[in-house]
Structures are given as structure tokens and as C-alpha cells.
Structure 1
Amino acid sequence: MTKGPIIIVDDDPDDRDIYAEIIRDMGIPNQIRFFNGGQECLQYLSTTTEQPFVILSDINMPRMNGLEFKEKIQADEYLRQKGIPFVFISTNAHPSTVRKAHILSVQGYFMKPASMGTIRTMLTKIFDYWELCKHINNV
């Protein structure tokens, strides 16, 4: 798998734990970095020399929601130049939210699955796609 940490931005510790368990069970060696919200992730992204593999973000978070987080990345030249694949995984599938996410150039928008098996299938497809796709992390 392409090097670089998998970034998970979600304020729900249970969801973060589930994602971590599934990623480990999949045998993916990448480090996983968790953030409770967009603001702390922005601080990390602005100061790290790491090139993250992908960002998986929730939409519904306090203080800074996922759309605001993505807007901040798009507005920051340094962060935008990193070209980190950005995917939303959310319970919010309102058409206006999905539209806004795609206007912000997200590379995927998924509903949070209810079962471990479906989460694993979703993550497998996301990671397989970004492993094969030519982008900043693997050229």
C-alpha cells in the first residue's frame, strides 16, 4: 500500500475505533492518525512533513463541520498543493450537502455503513482505488 498515514477525522470515538479495527484486520500497514475535528487536523496538516495517503472525514462535527474543514483545505495554497485524497463518510446525505461537498472537490462521499462487513467493503474499495489511481502520493 502507498505509504503515508490514513487520516480519520470524526468526533465519535466508537466510529474511530471501528475504522481502526477494520483497517488493522485488513492488514493495511499505514499509520492511522485520528482527529476529533477539522481544526486539530488542519494544525497537523499545516505542520507535518508527512504526505497522508487519504483523509476520511465525517460531516457532522462540532466547532468545525466537515464541509468547513474541506473549505479551509481548499482555501490554503500549501494544503491544496498536498493533493491529499479527501473522502466524506457521513450519516448526512442531504442533496445540498452532497452537492456542496462535490463543489469543494471531494473525491468521494459515502453513507456511514451500519455493519462491520459493509464498512470493510467500503474501505477496501476506497483504499484499492487510491492505491491504483495516479496521484501525488504514488507517482
Structure 2
Amino acid sequence: MSLKGPIILVEDDEDDQYLINKILEELQIPNTLRLHQNGLEALNYLKTTQEKPLLILCDVNMPVMNGLELRKEIEDNPYLKQKAIPFIFLSTSGDIGIVKEAYKGTIQGFYKKESNYSQYKNNVEVIIRYWQSCLHPNK
């Protein structure tokens, strides 16, 4: 993790991609946003990049490889697990079954995508500010 590293967004919905990008601009977050349409794209990027991402914001339901599958792949890969990149789910679903399934692995949060823009923005800000000030073994 690097404070100046990119924020990885794993999200297939164009509206949510737009909203996250807009929120980051409004919050004046200088980190580059690296967008991936599904878990497989993100996994391939994480395996090959020399960048040290600040965090991963990941949707749950996506084609090809969903967020739960991506998180498991990261946990099962010693190289990626050692990077200890904070992994946070952002989902339209607040279904308790999905939340419980997500927390069977190592994640650092699960947030529901709010329909209220102000609350959505607040949640994203809380997530980013927390990780910007948190101690981390790979800083």
C-alpha cells in the first residue's frame, strides 16, 4: 500500500464508475483511479503491476469473475496476499447472506452503494481517509 498509489475500482456498471470518479474529483483525492470491469481484469493487473495501490474498491456482482471470487484469488496467492492491499466491497445489495459470505475471507469493509449521492460520497470519503491515515506494514 502506498498513500500515493492508485485506487483500484473493480466495477462493471458505468453509472457507478462515473459516480466514484466524480466523488474522487470532488474530494480532491489525487490518487489515480485504475478501473477494471471484472475481477479477472483486476487480478491480472494486480499480478503484474509494480504499483502499490492504496486500496481496492470492489463490486460483488460482475461477469467473468465476481468480487467474492477475486477476493479468494488474492487470498490464495502468496504474492498478492503479502501486498496486504485493503479490500473493500461496495455493493448495491445489502443482503446479509452476501455480507456473511464476504466476511468469510479477509476484507476491510462492506458498504452498500447508497442511492443518496451525499451519503454515497460520505462513505467513499470515510473509506479513503481512514486508509490514508492508517498504519500499514507495506507503507
- Give the TM bin, normalised by the shorter chain: over 0.9
The percent identity for this pair of structures is: 41
Q: Are the aligned partners of 1:11 and 1:35 in contact in 2 as well (CA < 8 Å)?
A: yes
After superposition, residues 17-96 of structure 1 pair within 5 angstroms as 17-96=18-97
Give the drift of 1:115.
Answer: 2.1
Structure 2 residues without counterparts, runs of 5 or longer = none
Q: Are the aligned partners of 1:38 and 1:66 in contact in 2 as well (CA < 8 Å)?
A: yes
**Residue matched to 2:107:** 106
CA separation of 1:26 and 1:60: change in aligned 2, threshold 3 A: same
In 1: Cα distance, 2:117 partner to 2:97 partner? 28
Structure 1 residues without counterparts, runs of 5 or longer = none
TM-score by length of 2: 0.95
Tell me the number of residue pairs that the alignment of Structure 1 and Structure 2 aligns: 138
Instruction: Describe the superposition over 1:44-103 as per-residue Cα deviations: whole angstroms up to 9, x where unpaired.
Output: 000000000010000011121110110100110111011000000002222221112111
Give the drift of 1:132.
Answer: 1.4
Greater CA drift, 1-10 or 82-91: 1-10
Q: Are the aligned partners of 1:52 and 1:84 in contact in 2 as well (CA < 8 Å)?
A: yes
**2:121 paired with 1:115:** no
**Residue matched to 1:7:** 8
Moved over 3 A (4+): none
